[in-house]
Amino acid sequence: MESVKAPAPSWDTFARVNAAKQWRRQSAAMGRQMTEAIVAEARVEPGMRVLDVACGTGEPAISLASLLKGSGLVVGSDVSSQPLQMAAQRARERGLRNVCFQQADVHYLPLADATFDRVTSRLGVMFFSDLGRALAEVRRVLKPSGHVTLLAWGPRQQPYFESTIGVILRSVPGSALPRSGEQMFRFGEAGVLAGGLAEAGFFGIEEQFRVVPWNWPGTPEEVWEYFQEVTVPFRPLIDAIPTDQRATVNTEVLAAIRRYYDGTQVNFTATICLVSARAAP
């Protein structure tokens, strides 16, 4: 399988980090069902060592560490340093001592062979610039009895994206998804991510698509502001909106989001691709 290679988006921007802090509670609530899905699929047991790749501000690493109830060790890794600082703070607030965070590139993991019982990644695998190399590294650090569990976005045609970037694409003539945005949905077709794992030498591959709640506990205006500030892969598309069309686009986006608003929260759903596999037969 040919890897998708594109310039890596910058996840350490000042605006994004500030937004992650400002909307921390709402973002955690929105992603809770995804986190619960990957944690359940990982099937961790007491005493296990777990590597969570591309953990950002701490999930699912923190949930996995909590589930282990003080035993084992969870290592959360990410290429960006500032989200990891937030993750470490969250872990301290919860009194977790069996989790640590380390800046690392999944393509060159600074970790010993056969070290981990589980490897997880929630919404990170889409941005591996060389999928084959990254999965080879994941397999290298797994014990022979180890498992990997990956969660990625499904297709673009779902409420969260159709109400935001979908509106922009329909409203601004000549607009198109940037390559970084296309990567978000590279595993939206059945068999693509599973095929990548097979090529990397994994066994017992199980792939499923699920629809989970993706609800924002707040207003349409908030979720649109949040989307613009934190969704780095679509930044070029948003920045390219002509000045004289921005007010119209904002109005149309908010109207689209309001279709899912019940007066208390925005009730989106998210279609996800969830894949698990063994390191050895």
CB 77 within 8 Å of CB 101? yes
H or E stretch covering 260: none
Number of H helices, E strands in the chain: 12, 7
CATH no. for 14-278: 3.40.50.150
pLDDT band at residue 157, thresholds of 50, 70 and 90?
A: very high
How is the beta sheet containing 116-122 ordered, strand by strand? 99-103, 73-78, 49-53, 116-122, 142-153, 266-278, 203-216
Tokens of 113: 């062979």
Question: What stretch of H or E contains 164?
Answer: none
Give the per-residue pLDDT at 273.
98
Average pLDDT over residues 251-257: 98
CA dist 77 and 217 (Å) reads: 28
Residue 17 has pLDDT above 70, yes or no: no
Task: Count CB neighbours of 25 within 10 A.
Answer: 10
For residue 118, the tally of other CB atoms under 10 A from its CB is 23
User: For position 3, what pLDDT does the model report?
Assistant: 41
Q: Is the pLDDT of residue 20 over 50?
A: yes
Domain ranges of the chain: 14-278
